[in-house]
């Protein structure tokens, strides 16, 4: 039987500093500024204690966003790896001019698509939606939420990395 979907709530609307909590109020992921000199470095960290409760979750525990001068797109590294992945080339590919969809390639080489609208993003694996991000209503205590379906769990950190990067791109006005 496939694991049940996981819902995470985003507390804070600053794409450089916020946290993601599960329905039991456990910290799942945090996003923090690691450095801002000479350029901004942001860290996404998956909490090991939380991940231990979800054996289907695999992959890196951290990702690092190295922004370029004036907060332009730079590159991303997973964990303590030395491989740099271009933010635009690996995580924000656009296949058709004018399309709001963005594609990213997982570490295993598989391509995924984010269908992006102003208040919602859907991550698609071929024809199936594997994750849905929604901005909350003004009355909610959280800023947004993501639902990770069972097919998304093995690459949860990669999905969260690409989500955070898409939100950064929106906030910073990248194309």
In a domain, 1, yes or no: no
Q: Is the pLDDT of residue 142 over 80?
A: yes
33 φ, ψ (degrees, to nearest 5):
-75, 125
Q: Check which CATH number belongs to the domain holding 91 and give it.
A: 2.40.160
Q: What is the pTM of this model?
A: 0.93
Highest mean pLDDT among 24-33, 68-77, 131-140: 24-33
The tens digit of pLDDT for each residue in 99-122 reads: 888 888 888 889 999 999 989 999
**Mean pLDDT in residue range 19-37:** 96
Closest C-alpha among 133, 103, 112 to residue 121? 133
In a domain, 85, yes or no: yes
Residue 157 belongs to domain spanning: 6-172
102 φ, ψ (degrees, to nearest 5):
-130, 145
The tens digit of pLDDT for each residue in 41-83 reads: 999 999 999 999 999 999 899 999 999 999 999 999 998 777 8
Residue 154 has a pLDDT of 94
| Total domains present in the chain | 1
The CA-to-CA distance between both ends of the chain, in Å, stands at 41
In a domain, 138, yes or no: yes
Residue 99 has a pLDDT of 81
The share of the chain scoring above pLDDT 90, in percent, equals 69
Q: Is the pLDDT of residue 2 over 80?
A: no
Task: Check: CB of residue 8 under 8 Å from CB of residue 19.
Answer: no
- pLDDT band per the 50, 70, 90 thresholds, residue 133: very high
- pLDDT band per the 50, 70, 90 thresholds, residue 126: confident
Rounded to the nearest integer, the mean pLDDT of the chain is: 91
Q: Which residues contact 79 (CB under 8 A, 6 or more apart)?
A: 60, 61, 62, 63
Q: Is the pLDDT of residue 90 over 80?
A: no
């Amino acid at each position: 039987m496939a694991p049940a979907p996981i819902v995470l709530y985003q507390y804070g609307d600053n794409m450089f500093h916020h946290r993601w909590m599960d329905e039991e109020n456990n910290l799942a992921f945090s996003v923090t500024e690691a450095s801002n000199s000479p350029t901004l470095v942001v860290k996404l960290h998956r909490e090991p204690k939380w991940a231990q409760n979800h054996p289907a979750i695999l992959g890196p525990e951290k990702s690092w966003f190295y922004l370029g001068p004036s907060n332009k797109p730079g590159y991303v590294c997973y964990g303590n790896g030395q491989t740099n992945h271009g933010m635009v080339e690996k995580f924000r590919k656009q296949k058709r001019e004018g399309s709001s969809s963005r594609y990213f390639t997982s570490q295993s080489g598989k391509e995924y698509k984010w269908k992006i609208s102003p208040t919602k993003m859907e991550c698609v694996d071929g024809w199936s939606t594997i994750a849905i991000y929604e901005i909350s209503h003004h009355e909610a205590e959280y800023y947004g939420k993501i639902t990770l379906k069972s097919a998304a769990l093995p690459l949860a950190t990669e999905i969260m990395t690409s989500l955070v990067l898409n939100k950064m791109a929106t906030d910073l006005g990248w194309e």
